[in-house]
Amino acid sequence: MEERLQKLMAKAGLGSRRHNEGIIKAGRVSVNGKVAKLGDKANPRTDKITVDGEPLPSFEEKVYVMVNKPKGVISDEDDLGRTTVRHLVGLDGHFYPVGRLDRDSMGLILLTNDGEIAHLLTHPRYGHEKVYRVKVEGNPSNQVISAWRRGVDLEDGRTRSAAVKIIERSEEFTWLEITMKEGRKRQIRRVAALLGHPVLHLSRIQLGPLKLGDLGLGKWRYLTPKEIQTLQWYSTRKTKKRNSRRSRGKRRR
What's the burial of 34, exposed, middle or buried (CB within 10 Å: 0-12/13-18/19+)? exposed
- Options 40, 52, 76, 102, the catalytic residue: 102
Encoded amino acid at 163, one letter: A
What's the CA gap between 205 and 246, in Å, rounded?
31
Residue 21: partners with Cβ closer than 8 Å, 6 or more residues away: 6, 38
What's the CA gap between 97 and 207, in Å, rounded?
12
**153 counts as catalytic:** no
Name the residues annotated as catalytic: 102
